[in-house]
Structure 1
Amino acid sequence: MKKNQVDFVTLGCSKNLVDTESLMKQFEANGYHCVHDSKNPQGEIAVINTCGFIEAAKEESINTILEFVAAKKEGRLKRLYVMGCLSQRYQKELEQEIPEVDKFYGKFNYKQLLKDLGKEDVVTCDGLRHLTTPHHYAYIKIAEGCDRHCAYCAIPIMTGRHVSRPEEDILQEVRDLVTQGVVEFQVIAQELTYYGIDLDGKHHIAELISKMADIKGVKWIRLHYAYPNQFPLELLDVMREKKNVCRYLDIALQHISDNVLSRMHRHVTKAETIALLKTIRERVPGIHIRTTLMVGFPGETEEDFRELMDFVREQRFERMGAFTYSEEEGTYSAEHYKDDVPQEVKDRRLDELMALQQDISEEIEAAKVGKTMTVIIDRKEGPWYIGRTEFCSPDVDPEVLIPADEKPLHVGRFYQAKITGSEEFDLYATVV
């Protein structure tokens, strides 16, 4: 057990990762040595940042806590703290069920942990983070919370109303990170396109991204988690005109059948969704759209599902993830709908949808063979350098594999690479 070492574990989304990185910076300013997601935690203190989004995420969070409880019982750990979405929502229950945890914190009061250890919040570190990502890219969280209240979603229950960060704070954070060598920024929020609405009733996302793109040293900006209802179309002009704003948009659509969209409280129709996608593709030629879809929502008929399949076949999304509906207590759908689609039907629909997307993805990636693309190198792994194009977000999208024996490349640098081959999710290339 290493004295003054704190092991951090982050579960769930990149928004949680940003919170962990902020807390790690504060711990380091107080003289601690911090390690993130170590395969072999050896610190005397452990901090687990939990996710409570869906059943599978909750299970993973609980199992991780129990693993560390076992380590504490065996004397391999002195103190264990838990923070994040799961404990924000279920703090009382967790305190009763897992008393071995020294203290539970929520999503917003985690800095109290320092005070509970007899330490102070170091003001000069506010807004700074210990980056756990490779040195050349970082996540930038521009808002907390969500005002959308979709019928199935527990996130507003955990994170509260949408709160935009002040523009100048965000831009200053980007400038600070550029001085540390960060060149690529993944812009994240629960609902990116809502940015600014809580400040003065107007969308300010286009303005923010435009100013971010003008900061010297910012090479790539990628946008995550947009919403189709009241989408600010001026953002598309920024994406088209600013060369360092990647032609990539992560926009969760969830479904396409009007029956399901209405029951989900998505406040958007099939016709509006299709029109928006057409506009996005027309105004940003070559854009790669990532979406997330849900199957098995209460009341989803076989006809609704066939409509979803046809939609995916027609739209040919470059990137797509999907999951089955799981009932979340406290949500509108848990309280007002019967979870009436059997699990085996949900699973079959998910398999069918993902098999269709796999074929589409394979064809889209194969069409890149022979093209020369800009690639950023993320790491070296065995006989390969692993990189990404502007159309790929870290950890979720296809990667580009370049033979390491061709010539030495530098992690965090951009290269022109000719695509020589493709697999279902990855590309092979050689540096030009």
Structure 2
Amino acid sequence: MKKNTIDIITMGCSKNLVDSETLMGLFEANGYHCTHDSKNPQGEIAVVNTCGFIQDAKEESINTILELAQAKDEGRLKKLFVMGCLSQRYQKELEQEIPQVDKYYGKFNYKELLRDLGKGEMTLCDGQRHITTPRHYAYIKISEGCDRRCAYCAIPIITGKHQSRPIDDILDEVRQLVENGTREFQIIAQELTYYGIDIDGKRHIAELISRMADIKGVRWIRLHYAYPTHFPWELLEVIREKPNVCKYLDIALQHISDHMLERMHRNVTKRETYELIERIRREVPGIHLRTTLMVGFPGETDDDFEQLLEFTRKARFERMGAFAYSEEEGTYSALHYDDDVPETTKQYRLDKLMALQQRISAELEAEKVGKVMKVVVDRKEGDYYVGRTEYCSPEVDPEVLIPAADRRLRVGQMYDVRITDSEEFDLYGEIVKK
């Protein structure tokens, strides 16, 4: 058990990761040593940053807390703290069920933890984060919360209303990270196209990304979690015209049938969704779209699902994830709908949808063979360097494998790579010799 060492374990999404990195920066400014997601925690203090989005994520968070609670009971851990979405929502229940935890914090008050550890006077870190990703890329969270009221989603219940960060704070953070060697930025929010509405009633996402792109040293900017309704069209001009804004957009669409979209409270129609995709692709040639789709929502019929399959065939998303509906306590669908699609049907539909997407992905990736693409190297793994093109976000998208025997490459550097082969979700390539 290492004195003054804190192990931080992050569950769930990249937005949680940014919170963990912020907390680590605060701890380290005050004399603590931090490790992140250690396979073998050695510190005397552990902090679990939980996820509460869907049932599987909740269970994973609870199992992690229980494992560390046992370590505390056995004397292998001195203090255990829990923060994040799960404890924001279920703090009282968790306090009763797992009393070994010294204190539970929510989604927003976790910075009190340092004071509770006995630090009467805190050294502020001016928002500097301890970046846990490879140094060349980082996540930038531009807002908290969400004003959407999708019928299935518990996020607004957990995080509250949408709150945009001041634009100058975000740009200062990017400049600071550039000074420390970061070159690639994943822009994240629960709903990034809503950015600025709570400040002056206007959408400022295009202005923010344009100004960010003008910062010297920023090589790639990639956008995550847009919403289809009232899409800010001016953002497409920024993606098209700024060479360091990746031709990539993550926009969760969930479903396509009007019946499902209405029941889900998505505030968009089937026709509008098709028109949205057509316009995005027309205005930004070559853009890669990532989306998320849901099967098994209450009331989903065979016809609804067939429309979803047809949509997937026609839209040919370059990147797509899907999941089966799980009822979330307190949401509109939990309160007003019966979870009437059998689990076996949900799984069948999910498997069929993903099998279709697998074929589409294989075809789209095969079209890249023979092309020369800019690739950033993330790591070396076995006999290969592993990298990504501008069309690939870390951890969720296809990677490019480059034989390590050919020449020595530097992590974080960009290289021109000729694509030599493809699989369903990955590419193989060789360095273009100059």
Q: Would the TM-score normalized by the shorter structure come out above 0.5?
A: yes
Could you tell me whether the CA contact under 8 Å between 2:30 and 2:123 is conserved in 1?
no
The answer to whether 1:266 aligns with 2:250 is no
Alignment match, 1:326 = 326
CA distance in structure 1 between the partners assigned to 2:388 and 2:308 by the alignment: 30
Alignment of 1:376-415 (within 5 A): 376-415=376-415
Paired residue secondary structure (1:26): helix
CA distance in structure 2 between the partners assigned to 1:284 and 1:183 by the alignment: 23
Alignment match, 2:207 = 207
In the TM superposition, residue 123 of structure 1 has moved relative to its aligned partner by: 5.8
Alignment match, 2:183 = 183
Alignment match, 2:293 = 293
In the TM superposition, residue 160 of structure 1 has moved relative to its aligned partner by: 0.1
CA distance in structure 2 between the partners assigned to 1:127 and 1:201 by the alignment: 27
CA distance in structure 2 between the partners assigned to 1:318 and 1:210 by the alignment: 25
Alignment of 1:281-360 (within 5 A): 281-360=281-360
Alignment match, 2:144 = 144
Could you tell me whether the CA contact under 8 Å between 2:25 and 2:127 is conserved in 1?
no
Length, aligned pairs only: 432
In the TM superposition, residue 126 of structure 1 has moved relative to its aligned partner by: 2.8
Runs of 5+ consecutive residues of structure 1 not aligned to the other structure = none
Could you tell me whether the CA contact under 8 Å between 1:251 and 1:290 is conserved in 2?
yes
Could you tell me which amino acid in structure 1 is paired with residue 79 of structure 2? R
**Segment drifting more, 118-127 vs 16-25:** 118-127
Alignment match, 2:426 = 426
Could you tell me whether the CA contact under 8 Å between 1:111 and 1:121 is conserved in 2?
no
CA distance in structure 2 between the partners assigned to 1:14 and 1:120 by the alignment: 31
The answer to whether 1:220 aligns with 2:220 is yes
In the TM superposition, residue 122 of structure 1 has moved relative to its aligned partner by: 4.7
CA distance in structure 2 between the partners assigned to 1:201 and 1:272 by the alignment: 23
Could you tell me which amino acid in structure 2 is paired with residue 211 of structure 1? R
Could you tell me which amino acid in structure 1 is paired with residue 153 of structure 2? C
The answer to whether 1:256 aligns with 2:256 is yes
Alignment match, 1:65 = 65
In the TM superposition, residue 382 of structure 1 has moved relative to its aligned partner by: 1.0
Any runs of at least 4 consecutive aligned residues in structure 1 with deviations exceeding 3 A, and if so which? 120-124
Q: List per-residue Cα deviations over 1:210-254 (Å, max 9, x = no partner).
A: 000000000000000000000001000000000000000000000
Could you tell me whether the CA contact under 8 Å between 1:5 and 1:42 is conserved in 2?
yes
Over the matched positions of the two proteins, sequence identity in percent amounts to: 74
Alignment of 1:225-240 (within 5 A): 225-240=225-240
**Segment drifting more, 366-375 vs 66-75:** 66-75
Could you tell me whether the CA contact under 8 Å between 1:114 and 1:121 is conserved in 2?
no
The answer to whether 1:362 aligns with 2:382 is no
Alignment match, 1:243 = 243
CA distance in structure 1 between the partners assigned to 2:201 and 2:300 by the alignment: 35
TM-score (norm: length of structure 1): 0.99
Paired residue secondary structure (2:420): strand
The answer to whether 1:133 aligns with 2:133 is yes
CA distance in structure 2 between the partners assigned to 1:362 and 1:72 by the alignment: 47
Paired residue secondary structure (1:185): strand
In the TM superposition, residue 75 of structure 1 has moved relative to its aligned partner by: 1.1
Alignment match, 1:107 = 107
Paired residue secondary structure (2:313): helix
Could you tell me whether the CA contact under 8 Å between 2:384 and 2:402 is conserved in 1?
yes
Q: List per-residue Cα deviations over 1:82-101 (Å, max 9, x = no partner).
A: 00000000000000000011
CA distance in structure 1 between the partners assigned to 2:376 and 2:123 by the alignment: 34
Could you tell me whether the CA contact under 8 Å between 1:146 and 1:190 is conserved in 2?
yes
Paired residue secondary structure (1:250): strand
In the TM superposition, residue 332 of structure 1 has moved relative to its aligned partner by: 0.4
CA distance in structure 2 between the partners assigned to 1:73 and 1:92 by the alignment: 21
Could you tell me whether the CA contact under 8 Å between 2:375 and 2:387 is conserved in 1?
yes
CA distance in structure 1 between the partners assigned to 2:151 and 2:347 by the alignment: 21
In the TM superposition, residue 71 of structure 1 has moved relative to its aligned partner by: 1.1
Could you tell me which amino acid in structure 2 is paired with residue 149 of structure 1? R
Could you tell me which amino acid in structure 1 is paired with residue 66 of structure 2? L
